[in-house]
Structure 1
C-alpha cells in the first residue's frame, strides 16, 4: 500500500543576517577596495592581470564545447552520476544501520556518498586481492551496485518524510546566487578539462598505472619496483572501476566530482552553522582556488581526501542530528569517514587525528566521556587496516615504503629522491639556519601572493576573499562547532606547513 498523504507545515522564510559588517559601511568598503588593489598589484608583479578578454575566451570555449565534446561529455557524466548515486544509496543504508535514520538533505547526501564510495573502494580492494579484479567482473559489480544503490536511494527518500524536520528556509539573496553562478562556471570548465588526455605525472606513474596493471593481471600483485604501490589506494581502486567501464575520462570525472561535492558539502555545512552567505563564501573560497581547479582536471587523490574530511567534519558538527541515543553510531560513522580519508594518502593522518581529538573534546563538553572517541578510533582503524594488511602480505611491511629499515627486507631504490619528489621539508634546516627558517616562515605568503611558481598555488580568489571570513557570525551555529572547525583547519594547515613545501 502506498503511504497516505500527510499535511506538511510549510517552512518559514527568513532573511540571512550572516556576514555582518564589523566596521561602518564606508570604512568596510574602503578597506575592501584597498585590499583588492593590493592583491591585484601583487599579481601584476607576477605578470598576471585580471583582463576582461579572459572571460571572452572562457565563453568561447564553453560555446564550442557542445559541438566538439557533446557526446563524450554526456556519456561520461551519466556514468559518473550513476556511480555516485549508486554509492550514495549504499552509503545511506550504512548510515541507517549506524544511526537508525536516513533523513534526506544536501549535507546528508554528501555523507551518504562518502560512506558509499569509501566502502566501494574497500570492496574493490577485496576483489583485487581475491583475483576478481577484471574488466568484466567490475562491470557486473558496477551494474548490480548501481541498480541496488538506486533502489536504496529511492526507498530512503520515500520512507524518510516523517524523519525530516521542518526547518526555516533562509534566503541568502544575490550574493549566494552570484557564488552559485561562479561555481557553476568553474565546474563547467573543470569537467570539460577532465576529458582532455591525462598528462599529470602522478596519474601516469601510479594513480592510473597501478589499477590498469591490476586489471591486466586480474588482481593485485606486488610491484616493489613502483615505490608508490605501497601507498594507500582508496581512490585508485575507484579509478580501476572507471577504467573498466569507460577509460581515464571517467576517472578524471570522478575526481572532479569529489571536488564539486566538497564545495557542496562545505556550503551545506556552513549554511547550517552560519547561514547561506557564509556557506557561499566557504564554497567559493574552496572551489575557485586554482589549486582545486587544476586538481579537477587530473586523476589525483587530493580532492577525494578533502571530500571525506569535509563529510567527517559535517557528521561531528551535527549534519546527521545530535540525538544522544545516536551518539555511538555517529562516532562510528565519523571514524569510518576519517579512515576512508586516510585511505587516500598518508598525509591525511594528522588531520584525521585532529578530528578524533576534536570529537573527544566535544564529547567531554557534553559529559559523555571517552566512549565516542574510542569508537571513532576503532572505526577509523578498521577502515585503514586493509591497506596496511595489503602491504604486509605483498611487501612484509605494513607501511611500505616507509619504515623499510624496521619491517621486511625490501628497500626502496632511491629513498632520498622519493622524499625530494614529495616535497618533504628539512626541519633541521628550517629551524637551525636563518635562510631555512625564513623560507619556512614566508612559505604561506609566497605560495599565495609572492614568487611561487604557477604550478599548484592557492591563487588570487582565495587571497582576495579570505579576509571576508572575519565577518562571519561565529555564534550562530554554536561556538563548539566553529571551534572544532577552526581547530581542525589550523592543525591541518600546521601539519602541511611543517611537513612539506608542496602546496596540495
Structure 2
C-alpha cells in the first residue's frame, strides 16, 4: 500500500510539474508577445520619417486630397494599386499622419493572429501557436515595417487570409463556398494592394483547382471553381486596372509596358527604367554592379545580406530561420 501511495504521489507530482512548465511557457510567450506589441506601438506613435512613406504611401494620398480626387501624377509608383493607401487617405483627411502607422501595425498583428489560429486548427497547442505568431511578429523586418506607413504588411495579411480561408475550405471537403469566397476576396484585395500579389493569385487559383479535383474527383467542376475564384479576385482588382488603362493604355503600368505600348513616349518612366524581368536585371547591374547570378540569388541574399535603410541590400533582413519554413 505504501509503495502504491508513493508511486501515485510521484505520478501526481510529475503531472503537476508538466502542467506548471506549460503554464510558465504560456505566460512567458504571452509576456514577450505583449512586450513586442507595446514596443512597436510606441514606435508607431512617432511622426513618419521613412522615405517611401513620405514620397509615396502618404504623399500620393495627400496630393489626391489637395486635388479633390484621384488624378494622374506622372510618377511610375503612383500607378500602383492602392487599396491600403486609400486607408491612409482617410487618416490624412482627418489630419493624422501617425494613424497610418498604427493601421500598418494592425495588419501585422492580424497576420500574427491568423498564424495563431491556423496552428491551433492543426492541433499544435496554444503554446506552439503563440510561438508561431511570435516568430512572425518578432522577425526584424516585420518589427520594422510594423512601425512604418507602408503597405507590405497589408499585402501579407491579405495573402495569409486567402491561404487560411482555402485551408478552412479544404478542411470541410470543399463543401462550404463561404470560405472559398473569403479567400477570393482576400486575393482580390491583395491584388489591389500591390502587383506582386499576382504571383500568389496564380498559385492560389491553381491550388483551388487541385484541391477540388483531388478531394471531390470532379475535374470539370474543379476548373469551374478555379474560374469563379479568379473572377472574384480580378473583379476586385479591376478598378485599378481600368484606371491605368485609361491613363496609359496599360492595365498594370509600368510593368510590361513594352508589350502594351510597343512605341512608348521617351518621357515614359517605364521606357527609361526598363520593365519586366530583363529590366530588373539591367537596373541592378547599372545601379550596383551586380552580376546575373548575384541578382538571381537575391531571394537567398535577403536572409543574410539585408540591411535596414539600404536599397541595394533590400531595406531589411529576414530571419534565416524562415528558410526552413
Where on the TM-score scale, by shorter chain, does this alignment land: which range? 0.7 to 0.9
* 2:117 corresponding residue in structure 1: 268
In the TM superposition, what is the alpha-carbon distance from 1:296 to its structure 2 partner? 1.1
Q: Provide the residue aligned with 1:227 in structure 2.
A: 76
Say if 2:274 and 2:280, in contact at 8 Å, map to a contact too: no
Structure 1 residue ranges (4+ consecutive) displaced by more than 6 angstroms after TM superposition: none
How far residue 428 of structure 1 moved from its aligned partner, in angstroms, is 11
The CA deviation at 1:418 is: 7.5
Mapped to 2, the partners of 1:285 and 1:440 lie a distance apart of 27
Query: Which residue pairs with 2:307 in the alignment?
Result: 453
Distance verdict in 2 for CA 1:424–1:178, change over 3 Å: farther
**Do structure 1's residue 174 and structure 2's residue 24 form an aligned pair?**
yes
In structure 2, the partner of 1:183 is 33
For residues 96-143 of structure 1, give each alpha carbon's deviation from its aligned partner in whole angstroms, at most 9, with x where no partner exists: xxxxxxxxxxxxxxxxxxxxxxxxxxxxxxxxxxxxxxxxxxxxxxxx
Decide whether aligned partners of structure 1 residues 388 and 273 sit closer, same or farther in structure 2, where only a CA change above 3 A counts.
Answer: same
Displacement after TM superposition at 1:189 (Å): 1.4
Looking at structure 2, the residues matched to 223 and 428 of structure 1 have their Cα atoms a distance apart, in angstroms, of 26
Partner of 1:213: 63
Question: Is the Cα–Cα contact under 8 Å of residues 285 and 466 in structure 1 kept in the other structure?
Answer: no
Distance verdict in 2 for CA 1:177–1:360, change over 3 Å:
farther
* Inter-partner Cα distance in structure 2 for 1:265 and 1:313: 10
Structure 1 residues 354 and 219: alpha-carbon distance in aligned structure 2, compared to 1, 3 A threshold: same
Q: Does 1:317 align with 2:167?
A: yes
Shift, 1:187, TM fit = 1.3
- How has the CA–CA distance of structure 1 residues 360 and 179 changed in structure 2, closer, same or farther, with 3 Å as cutoff? farther
SS of residue in 1 equivalent to 2:239: helix
Aligned residues: CA RMSD: 3.1
Whole-Å Cα distance in 2 between the matches of residues 188 and 378 of structure 1?
40
What pairs with 1:327-406 in structure 2 (closer than 5 Å)?
327=177, 329-367=178-216, 368=218, 369-406=222-259
Sort the Cα spacing of 1:388 and 1:439 in 2 relative to 1 into closer, same or farther, 3 A. Answer: closer
Contact 2:173–2:215 (Cα < 8 Å) also in 1: no
Consecutive unaligned residues in structure 2, runs of 5 or more: 1-20, 310-314
- Post-superposition offset of 1:442: 7.5
Cα 1:324/1:397, change in 2 over 3 Å: closer
The answer on whether the counterparts of 1:339 and 1:383 sit within 8 Å (CA) in structure 2 is yes
2:98 and 2:170 map into 1 onto residues whose CA distance is 33
Q: Contact 1:222/1:395 (CA < 8 Å) preserved in 2?
A: no
Asked if structure 1 preserves the Cα contact closer than 8 Å seen for 2:306 and 2:317, the reply is no
* Distance of 2:104 and 2:208 partners within structure 1: 28
Post-superposition Cα deviations, 1:299-331, rounded to whole Å, max 9, x if no partner, equal 11000001001111111111797265423x332
User: Is the contact between residue 281 and residue 295 of structure 2 (CA under 8 Å) also seen in structure 1?
Assistant: no
State the Cα distance separating 1:415 from its structure 2 match: 4.7
- The answer to whether residue 254 in structure 2 is matched with residue 412 in structure 1 is no
Contact 1:269 1:319 in 2 (8 A): no
Matching residue of 2:105: 256
Aligned to 2:139: 289
Residues in 2 aligned to 1:312 and 1:355: alpha-carbon distance in whole angstroms: 8
Q: 1:456-484: CA deviations, max 9, x gaps?
A: 3345xx34x559x7xxxxxxxxxxxxxxx
Q: Which runs of 5+ in 1 are unaligned?
A: 1-170, 470-485, 487-504
After TM superposition, the score normalised by the length of structure 2 is 0.77
Shift of residue 419, structure 1, vs aligned partner: 6.8
Whole-angstrom CA distance in 1 between matches of 2:26 and 2:101: 28
Shift of 1:176: 3.7
**Cα distance change of structure 1 residues 414 and 387 upon mapping to structure 2, 3 Å threshold:** closer
TM-score (norm 1): 0.51
